[in-house]
Structure formats: structure tokens, C-alpha cells
């Protein structure tokens, strides 16, 4: 094995070109082609229109919008907007409609009225490639994982949540992309004046005649005008009354002359001053000037004033536009600060709700997520090894697993947390409790953490052995372990880690007479990912072709225990102690939350947790991008554990199309803004710093030394350590062009450690699942 490794590394040193083999990069979000629909019975005009009004139809966002009103308001416009002007053309843009039925109804309605429209389709695969964000604009903080700052109001908190979905918002809602598409469509029509307006904008004939007159009389230097809006607070029919009087004063719609150069900023998500930003750049004064723009927003607006206008008061107003009734109570649509705040909050809630619904669709429709689908092990490999019983390699691999299962069969009465004395303040023996800095002389009983880990590995071996052999004894014994730990009311562990890894020294000096656990406590449940896979196997295969190995009642009790553990990991204590902590233990916390969410049919929580883990790098690494080692912790074992955990995290994330985000995540030079680095981000460079053979880029001058150093380092590594290095290198080389330029790193990525040397005992030292030959490792 070691000779082969040396040969492989040596071959890797021979040619940069061989080891810089092309890997498909993470493709950037591509704009879908515009799909123009022109009714067959509409004759094309002989000459271009003078004016073109385009409106974007987007997704309803309850509770801000009544979903039924979109179709009602569209019908009202089509039926009642009678402008009687041959020089005016109209067009509709269907913007990323997420509800297929709503989209069908809108298309049919437009077709019934012979209305031209263009569709910007929502492609679920393209949406799936958009990342979550962890840094809010220019704060330089991991907002996802930090605690809520004291005094932070609900509005700020909701805006921060929306910022985490910014890229997803820009794709799925993409209001400024739709507005720019309308500019392109209207300009392409040959019209002189372009009106890219919002979907519920309604023009009376009186308003249009005023707008048209002002456009016709506009001096040559005037390229932009605005039309202020009146928000209706009652049913739309009110505008048909001859007594109706508009009171327009709210945020206006913009009108462009065809030679105007300005466009809407597509980096601003829906709800982030998306239209007001251009008003600021055009120096149109308004209430938006007092909105409190962030530094990042100011750089894009006040510090980037348009050069296409000259001085202030050069963008006049004309006519007015009506915003049709939303269907909500009049006090919500009224023109006062309280109502405005309510609308902002509900719109932000609606955005997250829509995007979360798309996240769930991505998980189920694109990545085939099901709660009974194995997360750690591979169903196809299990079946393959089960069928190839005569193959010598198969026999060798399976024999080790069966030996572990037989060892577990010898345990008649499993130890649980109740086997040790109660250490928590309430003296409840079912609460996991231990001291990390104190051991009782002469006590041969394993501590709670050792027993929990042993149970998880034993149960996993038994569940896999049952599936491979159909020997019911293994399933029955696995049920004994699960009943003792998760179901039996006298022995089952309560699903809390509040008193795990307590400090005995702190207890001695505590004025209250007790102490709580520490962030390291989360390590004791690190095996939950594989344990839940064992439960899935025992509950019956995901394709339902295998019988269940557990009684229905025990299945339900184990699921209840898993739900309780998930809930406890969302408690205030867990959020403060584990989720907000830096380093390895926070990463282990995320993996456990993700595994539990996958088991409990929570695909949105699973995707968000895995999709934001890259933020952990911000507190794991120094400004020099070196691993921060906690005080009192041995550096080398901690680094190996970190590499093992990131490798496992990348394996899980890869299943749901999220691993590329791990490796592309990066920060600006001042560490205040998040960016995607196509060459490789923080995690790529961490791998480069930390994994032997990935340290340096090979040049002619340093050709030999790095090769020797690589071979020496790997020869000294155990098979398990080599497995950790090679697995993470494989993921990193696939996603990091900067590492593909390093021949020894690419060579390491091809190394396959001796599988029969990867014992469950050795892998458990790094909290890794045993029997990797049954895992589909990339």
C-alpha cells in the first residue's frame, strides 16, 4: 500500500498538465432566455410604438399579498384600462412564477385578452445552485450562527434573515432583473419612451393623457421622468367612478427615454430598496432619503450618482399611477408609518416563506430527499455486497463487520447513562452528565460519553449485519440497545446535554453548588448521524422491499427521542453553548442538527443547516487563515478531528448540491463582505495549509522537496489518518482549481487507503462512521 502511494505521488510530480485535469466548475447562475408570446390574431404594427408600457407579474407573498388578488387585479387591468392610444403598446413579463397552476391561469388570461407577454421561467435546478449567505453586507460577521444582539429589534432581525436568502431572492423574485428585461423588451420594440412598471399599476385615461403630453413636450436633455403612486385601500371599482380623485404621493414608477443609460441594480434583492436605489442615483428626492442606508447600499447609491442626469430637479414628475387594491384591510394599506412597517415585515416574511417552499421542492424534486433515505450509507452498495456473497473481497470486507456485530451480540444488558451515578443538580440518573477534568480512582465503568458512543457503533454494526445477512438475531439485539437508550422509561437517556462535560474544578468553586456543561459536550452525540441510519435500516429499507427489524412501537419511541433531542438542540442553552461557539464543536453541532432534521422530515432545516456551514470558517480560522486551536487542546489531534469533520460535512453536503458553496465561500480583503471565489475560497486554502501534499504549488525550483515531504508525511500517517486526508483532498480538488494546480494534492486525492485496516475502533476516534466501503464517498 505504502509503495503504491509513493509511486502515485511520484507520478503526480511528473507532469503539471496531467494533474491539472479539467473539472467542471461550479457554473454561475445563467439568465434564462426570454420567451416571448405573441397572440396569433394580433397584427404587428407597421411602425414602432412611441410609448411602451410593460408590467411584471410576480409571485404572491402572503401574508403581504392575498394570493387570489394577482389574477383579479390582472383581469381588472385587462378589462378596464382603456387608454385608446395607437402610439402606446403594452407588454407583460411573467417573472419566475413558482406556482405552476397560478402561472397557467395567468397565461390563459393574457391569451384570452390577446395580450403580448414574455415569460422568465423559474428553473428549479438553477435555483438550487444559488447559495445561502452568512455575512450581512459589510458587517463582516457570521450572522447565521451568532446570537441575536441585545436590543436588536424585530425589523432588523427579519431584514438579516432576508439577507441570508439574498442570492435566492435575486433569482426567484429577481425584481430588478425583470425590470431590466422590460427595459430591453421595450427598447427593442423601437419605442421612444419606456415604462417598466410594477404589476398592479393601473392607468386612468386622464393620467395617461397627462403623462403623454409631458413626454411629448420633454426637452432634449430630459431622459427620465417619474409618476407618483396612489395606493388603493378599497375595491378597484372605485377608480371607475367619475368622482374618483387620486392622491398620489408614494414611491413613483420610472419612465425612461430610449437613449437613457441607467438600469436597475440587480445586486439588490426584492425588498432591499430595489427601485428606490435608482431614484437616489437619479437624485429624485423623497422619503427614501431618510431610510438609513447601509454602507454597502450607500456605495451603490449616494456614492454612485448617475452621470446621465445633470444636477438636481432634472427628473420631473408627470401624471399619476394607481396601485390596485391588495385585498388586505384598509388600515394596512393606509399611508402612515405603522402601516408601512407592517407591510415591510409581512413582505419579508412572505419572501422567506416562498423561498423556503422552493428549498423544499429542491430537496424533494431535484435531490430526491426522503426521511427514510439513508444519509450516511448507500443503499445500492448494501445491495451489491449482499448479492456478491461469493466474492473474496466482499467476504473480507463483510467479515470485519460481522465480527463487530457478533461482539455486540455478547452484550446482554446494555449499559446506559443510568449505570453511572447521577451528577446533575436534580440527581436524575437518566440525564447525561460527566466531568471532563475528573476521574474517580478505581471506577472501571465507562463514562456516559463512552457508553453512548459504544451503543451507537454497536447498533450500526448490528443493523448493517442484519441487512447483509437477513439474520434476525442482529435486528433483535439492535432493538435491545435502542430500547435501553431511547425508549425504556427507567434507563433511556433524557435528550439533553446540559450537564455533559462539566468542569469539576468549577463545581468546587461554584457558589450555587452546581455547574453546567461546556461546548465540548456536543462531541458525545457526534455519532447520531450513523445511528439514525441504523434506525432507518431497522425500520425497513427506503424502497420498502425489506421487512422492518424493529417493532412499530419501538420505532415510534425512537422517533420521539430523536425529536426531543432535536428540540433540545434548538433550546436557548444549546444555541448559546453549541451553536454560537467557535471551532470544531460548532461544526459537530451543525452536523447533528442536519442529521436529525433529515430523519424527522425537515428538509428546509436540513438544507439551511448544511447550506450555511461555511460560515463556521470565519471563527475557526485566524486572519492569516490558520486554524485556531483552543487553549489546552493538543494541536495535531484537534486539526485531524477538524479535517475529518469537514470531510464528513462535505460528503453530506454533496448529496444535496451544497458542497461547492463550502469551497467557494470567501471574504473580501477587509474581511467585511462575502464573495464567491471561483478559484477556491477559505476552505480550499485551509485544506492547502493543513493537508499533507496540498501545502504548496509546485514550481521548477521546488520540484523535489515538496514531493519528498509529502511521501514522508503520508508514510508516517495511520491508515485512518490517510483516509481522512485523501477523502477531504478528493472533495477539495474537485471544487478548488487552486488545489488542482498542486500535483501532489491531486495525487493524494486518488489514493484509496486499505479498507480492511479502517476499523470501527480507529474511525470512532474521529467520530467517523465505520465501514466506509458501504458509503458512496466522492
Lowest mean pLDDT among 18-22, 406-410, 440-444: 18-22
pLDDT at 717: 87
The enclosing domain of 169 has a CATH number of: 3.90.550
Q: Are residues 49 and 21 in the same domain?
A: no
DSSP state letter for 414: -
* pLDDT confidence band for 777 (50 / 70 / 90): low
* pLDDT tens figures, 750-759: 988 887 889 9
* Together in a domain, 18 and 138: no
What pLDDT shows up at residue 146? 87
Residue at 688 is within a domain = yes
Question: How does residue 8 score in pLDDT terms, banded at 50, 70 and 90?
Answer: very low
pLDDT band at 395; cut points 50, 70, 90: confident
Q: What's the pLDDT at 588?
A: 97
Q: Are residues 271 and 232 in the same domain?
A: yes
pLDDT of residue 16: 30
- Are 94 and 14 found together in one domain? no
In Å, what is the CA distance from 112 to each residue of 45, 56, 79?
20, 18, 11
Residues 16 and 130 in one domain: no
Domain identity same for 192 and 245: yes
User: Could you tell me if residue 337 is inside a domain?
Assistant: yes
Q: Do the domain assignments include residue 455?
A: no
Select from 489, 478, 369 the least CA-distant residue to 429.
489
Q: Which three cell numbers stand for residue 539?
A: 425500520
> Which of 328, 363, 398 is at the close of a domain?
363
270 in a structural domain: yes
Last residue of a domain, one of 338, 363, 388: 363
Nearest to 530 by CA among 412, 344, 390, 404: 404
Mean pLDDT of the region 161-165: 94
Spatial contact of 269 and 173, defined as CB atoms under 8 Å apart: yes
Residue 773 lies in a domain: yes
d(CA 506, CA 762): 32
In whole angstroms, what is the distance from residue 55 CA to residue 53 CA? 7
Q: Same structural domain for residues 198 and 307?
A: yes
Average pLDDT (474-495) is: 95
| CB atoms closer than 10 angstroms to residue 480 | 19
d(CA 50, CA 262): 20
Choose the weakest-confidence range: 44-58, 397-411, 674-688: 44-58
| Number of compact structural domains in the chain | 2
Domain assignment present for residue 697? The answer is yes
Residue 761 CA to residue 770 CA, distance in Å, equals: 8
Chain-wide mean pLDDT for the chain?
Answer: 88
Kindly report, residue by residue over 549-590, the tens digit of the pLDDT. Answer: 899 999 999 999 999 999 999 999 999 999 999 899 999 999
Residue 463 belongs to some domain of the structure: no
Choose one of 309, 334, 363: the last residue of a domain: 363
Tell me, yes or no, whether 177 and 243 share the same domain. yes
Looking at the structure, tell me whether residues 80 and 23 fall in a common domain. Answer: no
Domain residues for the domain of 13 are: 1-27+657-778
Q: Please tell me the predicted confidence (pLDDT) of residue 312.
A: 64
- Is a pLDDT exceeding 80 seen at residue 235? yes
Q: Decide if 438 is inside a domain.
A: no
The percent of residues in the chain predicted with pLDDT above 90, rounded, is 69
- The reply to whether 685 and 738 lie within a common domain is yes
> In the prediction, which pLDDT does 29 show?
28
Q: Which has the closest alpha carbon to 584: 660, 478, 708, 690?
A: 690
Q: How far apart are CA 778 and CA 775, in angstroms?
A: 9
Q: What is the C-alpha separation between 730 and 750, in angstroms, rounded?
A: 7
**Co-location of 6 and 57 in the same domain:** no
What's the farthest any 2 CA atoms get from each other in the chain?
99
Q: pLDDT per residue over 466-475, tens digit each?
A: 999 999 999 9
Q: Residue 592: its pLDDT value, please?
A: 98
Sheet holding 224-231, edge to edge: 35-37, 117-120, 88-95, 51-57, 193-198, 250-257, 224-231, 321-323, 201-202
Together in a domain, 195 and 290: yes
Reported as a single tens digit per residue, the pLDDT across 591-632 is: 999 999 999 999 999 999 999 999 999 999 998 889 999 988
Amino acid at each position: 500500500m505504502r509503495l503504491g502511494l509513493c509511486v502515485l505521488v511520484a507520478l503526480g510530480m511528473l507532469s503539471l498538465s496531467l494533474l491539472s485535469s479539467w473539472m467542471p466548475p461550479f457554473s454561475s447562475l445563467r439568465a434564462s432566455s426570454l420567451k416571448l408570446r405573441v397572440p396569433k390574431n394580433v397584427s404587428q404594427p407597421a411602425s414602432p410604438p412611441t410609448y411602451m408600457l410593460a408590467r411584471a407579474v410576480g409571485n404572491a407573498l402572503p401574508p403581504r399579498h392575498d394570493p387570489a388578488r394577482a389574477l383579479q387585479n390582472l383581469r381588472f387591468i385587462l378589462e378596464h384600462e382603456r387608454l385608446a392610444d395607437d402610439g402606446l403598446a403594452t407588454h407583460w413579463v411573467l417573472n419566475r412564477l413558482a406556482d405552476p397552476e397560478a402561472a397557467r391561469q395567468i397565461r390563459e388570461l393574457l391569451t384570452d385578452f390577446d395580450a403580448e407577454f414574455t415569460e422568465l421561467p423559474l428553473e428549479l435546478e438553477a435555483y438550487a445552485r444559488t447559495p445561502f449567505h452568512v455575512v450581512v453586507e459589510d458587517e463582516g460577521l457570521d450572522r447565521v450562527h451568532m446570537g441575536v444582539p441585545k436590543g436588536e429589534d424585530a425589523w432588523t432581525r427579519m431584514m438579516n434573515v432576508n439577507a441570508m436568502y439574498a442570492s435566492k431572492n435575486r433569482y426567484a423574485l429577481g425584481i430588478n432583473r425583470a425590470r431590466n428585461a422590460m427595459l430591453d423588451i421595450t427598447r427593442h420594440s423601437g419605442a421612444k419612451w419606456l415604462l417598466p412598471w410594477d404589476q398592479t399599476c393601473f392607468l386612468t385615461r386622464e393620467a395617461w393623457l397627462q403623462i403623454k403630453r409631458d413626454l411629448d413636450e420633454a426637452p432634449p436633455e430630459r431622459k427620465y421622468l417619474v409618476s407618483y403612486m396612489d395606493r388603493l385601500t378599497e375595491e378597484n371599482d372605485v377608480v371607475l367612478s367619475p368622482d374618483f380623485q387620486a392622491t398620489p404621493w408614494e414611491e413613483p414608477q420610472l419612465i425612461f427615454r430610449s437613449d437613457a443609460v441607467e438600469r436597475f441594480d440587480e445586486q439588490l434583492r426584492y425588498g432591499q430598496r430595489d427601485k428606490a436605489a435608482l431614484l437616489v442615483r437619479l437624485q429624485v428626492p423623497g422619503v427614501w432619503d431618510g431610510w438609513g442606508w447601509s454602507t454597502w447600499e450607500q456605495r451603490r447609491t449616494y456614492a454612485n450618482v448617475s452621470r446621465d442626469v445633470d444636477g438636481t430637479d432634472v427628473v420631473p414628475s408627470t401624471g399619476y399611477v394607481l396601485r390596485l387594491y391588495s385585498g388586505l384591510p384598509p388600515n394596512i394599506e393606509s399611508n402612515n408609518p405603522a402601516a408601512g412597517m407592517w407591510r415591510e415585515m409581512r413582505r419579508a416574511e412572505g419572501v422567506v416563506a416562498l423561498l423556503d417552499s422552493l428549498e423544499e421542492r429542491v430537496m424533494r424534486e431535484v435531490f430526491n430527499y426522503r426521511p427514510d433515505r439513508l444519509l450516511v450509507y448507500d443503499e445500492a452498495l448494501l445491495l451489491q455486497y449482499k448479492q456478491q456473497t461469493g466474492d473474496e473481497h466482499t467476504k473480507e470486507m463483510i467479515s470485519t463487520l460481522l465480527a463487530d456485530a457478533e461482539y455486540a451480540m455478547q452484550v446482554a444488558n446494555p449499559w446506559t447513562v443510568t449505570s453511572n451515578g447521577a451528577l446533575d443538580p436534580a440527581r436524575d440518573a437518566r440525564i447525561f452528565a460527566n466531568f471532563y477534568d475528573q476521574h474517580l480512582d478505581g471506577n472501571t465503568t465507562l463514562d456516559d460519553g463512552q457508553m453512548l458512543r459504544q451503543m451507537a457503533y454497536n447498533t450500526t454494526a448490528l443493523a448493517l449485519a442484519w441487512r447483509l445477512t437477513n439474520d434476525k438475531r442482529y435486528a433483535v439485539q439492535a432493538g435491545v440497545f435502542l430500547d435501553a437508550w431511547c425508549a425504556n422509561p427507567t434507563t433511556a437517556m433524557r435528550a439533553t446535554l446540559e450537564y455533559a462535560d462539566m468542569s469539576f474544578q468549577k463545581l468546587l468553586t461554584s457558589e450555587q453548588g452546581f455547574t453546567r456543561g461546556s461546548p465540548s459536550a456536543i462531541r458525545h452525540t457526534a455519532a447520531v448521524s450513523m445511528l439514525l441510519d441504523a434506525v432507518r435500516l431497522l425500520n425497513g429499507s427506503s424502497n420498502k422491499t425489506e421487512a422492518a427489524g424493529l417493532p412499530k412501537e419501538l420505532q415510534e419511541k425512537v422517533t420521539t427521542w430523536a425529536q426531543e433531542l432535536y428540540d433540545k438542540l434548538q433550546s436557548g442553552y444549546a444555541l448559546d453553548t453549541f451553536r454560537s461557539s467557535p471551532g470544531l464543536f460548532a461544526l459537530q453541532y451543525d452536523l447533528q442538527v442536519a442529521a436529525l432534521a433529515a430523519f424527522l422530515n425537515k428538509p428546509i432545516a436540513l438544507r439551511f443547516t448544511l447550506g450555511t456551514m461555511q460560515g463556521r470558517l470565519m471563527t475557526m480560522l485566524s486572519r492569516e487563515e490558520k486554524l485556531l486551536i483552543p487553549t489546552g487542546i493538543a494541536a495535531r489531534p484537534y486539526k485531524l478531528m477538524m479535517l475529518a469533520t469537514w470531510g464528513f460535512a462535505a460528503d453530506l453536503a454533496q448529496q444535496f448540491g451544497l458542497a461547492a458553496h463550502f469551497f467557494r465561500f470567501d471574504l473580501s480583503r477587509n474581511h467585511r463582505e462575502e464573495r464567491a471565489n471561483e478559484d477556491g475560497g477559505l476552505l480550499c486554502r485551509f485544506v492547502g495549509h493543513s493537508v499533507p501534499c496540498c501545502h504548496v504549488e509546485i514550481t521548477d525550483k521546488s520540484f523535489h522537496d515538496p514531493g519528498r515531504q509529502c511521501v514522508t508525511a503520508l508514510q508516517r500517517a495511520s491508515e485512518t489518518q490517510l483516509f481522512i486526508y485523501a477523502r477531504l483532498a478528493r472533495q477539495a480538488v474537485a471544487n478548488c482549481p487552486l488545489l488542482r494546480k498542486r500535483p501532489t494534492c491531486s495525487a493524494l486525492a486518488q489514493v484509496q487507503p486499505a479498507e480492511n485496516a479502517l476499523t470501527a475502533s480507529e474511525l470512532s476516534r474521529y467520530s467517523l462512521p465505520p465501514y466506509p466501503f458501504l458509503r458512496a464517498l466522492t
